[in-house]
Structure 1
Amino acid sequence: MADVKTQLNYSVDNGREIDYYFFEPAQDVKLNPPGTDVQDVVIRDGWSQAESFSLDAEGFAIKSFDGGFRQFDNEEAITSLLYPQVIEFIKKQTGARRVEIFDKTIRQRLPDDLSQQTEEHRPAVLLVHSDYTPRSGPARVRDILPEDADELLTGRVVFYNFWKSLYDVVEELPLACCDARSSIDEDMLLMNLKYSDRTGEIYVLRHSPDHKWWYFPKMSADHALLLKTYDSEIDGRARFMGHSAFEDPTTPVGAQPRQSIEIRTMAFF
């Protein structure tokens, strides 16, 4: 495989709050959507350096994973069989003493029509982003583990996304990872997620020519990517890692549509 030249959807740093609505906003709302700064980038093939990537340095790592599980249409099997496997995998890779799974999403190419999406079946995200912020990370711990949150938040807390193909080799819409060492705090732009009953927040990224992008072409179901999307430590290790699906110009005609699972976890040390 080889490096690819493609485009990624960054966001404009215009001094205004960026927002994304999951409902129809009032007509007088002045929108400031993400992903409007389309930039040409080179995304490097990471396979030759696969063993060197580190969650605490680059913010991502790719590891071998038993791809034998196939019951992705069976919720009970996912919970009882796959989840324990993922938890043990993350403990082994990170040294965490406790890992909690709190969300999962099956991602594939879907119509732009939002009515075709569900909470657990969504399209690949073609936006440079990181899933949590210094405020929304701890808030999520309190939402998921209210009784234990005060004690858990006194120690190190890290959110890892577990990402893999369901069955086949990823031939289209691969996932790109931005080396966390190549971005600075000022590259992270707060985006408000507007729901009818609440407002969440994540980071989107402004463009920088310093960003270094990596991907793993033709990932099989026997590999898993771990992405760090929040780390409570502020000692210089990676805290947030930008990532995005992208249109790969080398995708062959008739390629197998991408089907992947993303499992979000919080780890405690």
Structure 2
Amino acid sequence: MPSVQANIEYLQKLSLYDKEKPYWCFLPPSESFDPDAQRVDNLEFEDYPDIQIEDIRELNEPPKIDDSGFEVLSHQSKFSKFDRADDVFQYVSETEELLRERMDAVYVKCYDSRLRKNAMFQRTQLDLNDPLLTEGPARGAHNDITYSSGPVVINRYLPEDIQKKFLKPGYRIRIVNTWRTLNPVLEDRPLALCDSRSVDPDDLVAADRIIPAHVGEVYYLTYNPKHRWLWLEKQTPVEPFAFVMYDTKAGSHARFCPHVSFINPLASDGAAPRESIETRSIVITKK
């Protein structure tokens, strides 16, 4: 199928953000706190309908992570569902090996994973450390790491001996996400990725992401008609995305990749709700 016209959710360009940094608190419910009833952010998004999203399958040349910021991998996972925490841990190890081989890495550390399903969740308790915790699709076009939070993440998750070995000239450190559908054929809420070459620095707005353990920082994307969006129609589990969130190597190559899910106008009636798993990894290669 050709490109689709669909809605992309962007962060609004509010004067509020000139004096107050955007933020979002991801906090578990408690006796005195209900995140469904109390405001936990100052994020205001706006819908841009009729954004053209190109089908990667129709490109003459497949996108590459160093150029566009993302690419489609070919990989068969041992896991199609996750019933036990150990399934997630094994998937993390599998992902580390995949990135080690694909990127010719000398070291890979997957420090986070996330299960998602396009569904409404009614919960009275929430364990943020549960590897089987399932969330809904993330809101707003975003990049999970900023130029400020990248070094913080690297220092937080790399063991001291690894830092001494690789945090020096001659090595390149990237934070790379993978994203894999768990649906046999994905129709509902697929992922759209923005070619990093079409993004101006001023389009990215830093926002705090607050959880009980620490404060992180992400970029939200504001609208620019230059943005080039792409997706993979009828994506299958053997076609995971890999996309870069941060890169210590300076230059004109891709160093980030904004992304967001969208409502697919081509989805068939009764299409199964999207289920997916994503990972975040520190990938070290020789320069």
Q: Where does residue 175 of structure 1 map in the other structure?
A: 191
**Distance 1:85-1:198 versus aligned 2 partners, 3 A rule:** closer
Amino acid at match of 2:279: I
Cα deviations by residue, 1:4-29 (Å, 9 ceiling, x for unpaired)? 1111111123334211123569xxx9
Name which of structure 1's ranges 204-213 and 187-196 shifts more when overlaid on structure 2: 187-196
Q: Where does residue 181 of structure 2 map in the other structure?
A: 165
Amino acid at match of 1:257: P
Amino acid at match of 1:56: D
Residue in structure 1 matching 2:120, options 107, 111, 116: 111
What TM-score do the two structures reach when normalised by structure 1? Answer: 0.89
Answer yes or no: is 1:4 the counterpart of 2:8. Answer: no
Answer yes or no: is 1:20 the counterpart of 2:24. Answer: yes
Answer yes or no: is 1:126 the counterpart of 2:139. Answer: yes
**Deviation beyond 6 Å, 4+ runs, structure 1:** none
**Distance 1:177-1:30 versus aligned 2 partners, 3 A rule:** closer
Residue in structure 1 matching 2:163, options 149, 154, 158: 149
RMSD: 2.4
The structural deviation recorded for 1:118 is 5.3
The structural deviation recorded for 1:30 is 11
Name which of structure 1's ranges 103-112 and 207-216 shifts more when overlaid on structure 2: 103-112
Identify unmatched segments of 5+ residues in structure 1: none
Identify unmatched segments of 5+ residues in structure 2: 28-32
Name which of structure 1's ranges 8-17 and 143-152 shifts more when overlaid on structure 2: 143-152
**Distance 1:145-1:50 versus aligned 2 partners, 3 A rule:** farther
The SS at the match of 1:100 is strand
Amino acid at match of 1:221: P
Number of aligned positions between the proteins: 264
Residue in structure 2 matching 1:201, options 214, 217, 226: 217
Cα deviations by residue, 1:127-150 (Å, 9 ceiling, x for unpaired)? 100000112111111111241335
Q: Where does residue 259 of structure 2 map in the other structure?
A: 243
What is the percent sequence identity of the aligned residues?
26
Cα deviations by residue, 1:11-63 (Å, 9 ceiling, x for unpaired)? 123334211123569xxx996314x1221211111112285211011000002
**Distance 1:107-1:50 versus aligned 2 partners, 3 A rule:** farther
Amino acid at match of 1:173: R
Cα deviations by residue, 1:66-124 (Å, 9 ceiling, x for unpaired)? 144335212223323x3333222212221221111111111111216565865331111
Amino acid at match of 1:111: M
The SS at the match of 2:100 is helix
Distance 1:62 1:173 in 2: 18
Cα deviations by residue, 1:131-178 (Å, 9 ceiling, x for unpaired)? 001121111111112413354333311011111112421110000000
Maintained 8 Å contact 2:175/2:283: yes
Distance 2:223 2:124 in 1: 31
**Distance 1:72-1:51 versus aligned 2 partners, 3 A rule:** farther
Name which of structure 1's ranges 235-244 and 189-198 shifts more when overlaid on structure 2: 189-198
**Distance 1:39-1:135 versus aligned 2 partners, 3 A rule:** same
Q: Where does residue 97 of structure 2 map in the other structure?
A: 88
Distance 1:117 1:7 in 2: 30
Name which of structure 1's ranges 232-241 and 82-91 shifts more when overlaid on structure 2: 82-91
Q: Where does residue 30 of structure 2 map in the other structure?
A: none
**Distance 1:150-1:189 versus aligned 2 partners, 3 A rule:** farther
Residue in structure 1 matching 2:231, options 215, 221, 227: 215
